[in-house]
């Protein structure tokens, strides 16, 4: 068993060997610029990009022409939020989002407030779910966009996207979803769920870092955006710049593999997650944060009463886990997600996220469960 045991798959994942093998030729033999239209080097890479576009589209059940390649979910989020606001602010300046969104969404909303946007931050209940009735009451004629994360990165809580979309579209507004943690893990169907803009990142499901996409609906409704980056008109004019062909090719291959293996991985990983959770809860005064019924199969966020998370992680040097989002790990504050769920500070400071992946083994889970219980008991005695 390799140590440290890696249980931080929601932060990032190792590149699948099949993905890496598929990417390698695009660093050497197939090195052409996908925008070069006059020779075979460009044609080969352009074809690879188009294939990847089709593979990403197949994963989320969209059309290939609705996929805009970016450097990752953060860029996609910025393009969607800022692009919608700049395009539609003459119709209205109101955006609704959720207090438990990723910082990429929340910080972008704060930025837009400086330019006149009115942002409503919906609260969540103790399970991390929004009140759809409250969403309906917050909608106004000025609401141009509602942004709701499909699956939370810290707790795994899954929001009722189809119900949300019906409310949003009743008022002729647009629905955006950060589906970074959902895509590649659970089925995502933008048409069925009524999502107009969706963000995805390759490195969350065994693809390379530096590749992501924004789905932009082209019908019912057709969404228009103002680009963040100008120059050259790449990606339908929404994201200019030379395409990262190796990463995009790997992204597409990762989508193809995820689409094929998703159900089998989910079944196996859930059994291990449930076993890990059950074992650790036996330590006593350990609490699961977030809804246990509406969450991703690979995540458990646990609060250890009487034990500070940093102290616990410091003792678990042979296990790679996190207190929350990797993007917020340097901030010495309790998780904004847990605070929004009205979890007391002492428990929020004691919370650790365990996120499993397809390379996690039963042997690793047995080891982690025993190790965590041992260290928690020792830390509590020392207190």
Q: Give helix 245-281 / helix 362-382 axis angle, nearest 10°.
A: 60
The answer to whether 19 and 206 are in contact (CB under 8 A) is yes
Distance (Å, whole) CA 268 – CA 41: 42
Return the percent helix, strand and coil in the chain, to nearest 5: 45, 15, 40
Q: How many Cβ atoms are within 10 Å of 314's Cβ, its own excluded?
A: 11
Taken as a whole, the chain contains a residue count of 383
259's CB contacts (< 8 A; 6+ apart) are 55, 58, 59
Q: Which two tokens stand for residue 9?
A: 């798959």
Residue 4: asked if its preceding bond is cis (omega within 30°), the reply is yes
DSSP β-ladder status, 197-201 and 212-216: antiparallel
Phi, psi dihedrals of residue 372, rounded to the nearest 5°: -65, -45
CA distance 132 to 119: 17
Q: Give the tokens for residue 156.
A: 């795994």
The single residue of 138, 255, 327, 377 carrying the catalytic annotation is: 327
- Residue 88, both tokens: 């539609």
Q: Dig out the tokens for 130 from the structure.
A: 């929004």
Neighbours of 228 (CB within 10 A): 16
Q: In what order do the strands lie in the sheet with 143-147?
A: 67-70, 212-216, 197-201, 174-178, 143-147, 94-98, 118-122
Q: What is the DSSP letter of 151?
A: B
Distance (Å, whole) CA 275 – CA 376: 18
CA dist 345 → 121, 334, 335 (Å) = 21, 7, 9
Give the separation between CA 340 and CA 154, rounded to whole angstroms. Answer: 12
Residues near 271 by beta carbon (within 8 Å), at least 6 away in sequence: none
Active site residue 327: yes
Catalytic residue numbers read: 327
């Amino acid at each position: 068993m390799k140590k440290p045991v890696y249980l931080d798959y929601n932060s990032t994942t190792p590149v699948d060997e099949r993905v890496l093998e598929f990417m390698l030729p695009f660093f050497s033999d197939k090195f052409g610029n996908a925008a070069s239209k006059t020779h075979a080097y460009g044609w080969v890479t352009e074809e690879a990009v188009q294939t990847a576009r089709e593979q990403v589209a197949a994963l989320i059940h969209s059309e290939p022409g609705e996929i805009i390649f970016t450097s990752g979910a953060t860029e996609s989020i910025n393009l969607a939020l800022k692009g919608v606001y700049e395009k539609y602010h003459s119709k209205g300046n109101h955006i609704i989002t959720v207090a438990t969104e990723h910082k990429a969404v929340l910080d972008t909303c704060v930025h837009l407030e400086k330019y006149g946007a009115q942002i409503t931050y919906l609260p969540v209940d103790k399970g991390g779910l929004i009140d759809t009735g409250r969403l309906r009451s917050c909608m106004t004629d000025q609401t141009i966009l509602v942004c709701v994360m499909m699956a939370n990165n810290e707790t795994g809580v899954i929001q009722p996207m189809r119900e949300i979309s019906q409310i949003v579209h009743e008022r002729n507004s647009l629905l955006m979803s950060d589906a970074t943690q959902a895509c590649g893990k659970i089925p995502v169907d933008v048409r069925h769920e009524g999502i107009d803009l969706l963000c995805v990142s390759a490195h969350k499901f065994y693809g390379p870092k530096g590749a992501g996409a924004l789905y932009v609906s082209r019908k019912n409704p057709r969404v228009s955006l103002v680009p963040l980056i100008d120059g050259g008109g790449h990606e339908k004019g929404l994201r200019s710049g030379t395409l990262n062909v190796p990463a995009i090719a790997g992204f597409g291959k990762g989508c193809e593999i995820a689409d094929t293996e998703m159900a089998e991985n989910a079944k196996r990983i859930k059994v291990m997650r449930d076993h890990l959770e059950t074992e650790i809860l036996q330590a006593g005064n350990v609490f699961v944060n977030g809804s246990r019924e509406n969450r991703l199969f690979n995540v458990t966020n646990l609060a250890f009463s009487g034990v500070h998370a940093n102290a616990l992680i410091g003792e678990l040097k042979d296990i790679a886990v996190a207190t929350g989002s990797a993007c917020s790990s340097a901030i010495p504050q309790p998780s904004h997600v847990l605070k929004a769920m009205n979890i007391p500070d002492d428990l929020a400071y004691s919370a650790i996220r365990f996120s499993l992946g397809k390379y996690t083994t039963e042997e690793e889970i047995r080891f982690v469960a025993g190790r965590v219980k041992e260290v928690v008991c020792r830390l509590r005695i020392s207190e």
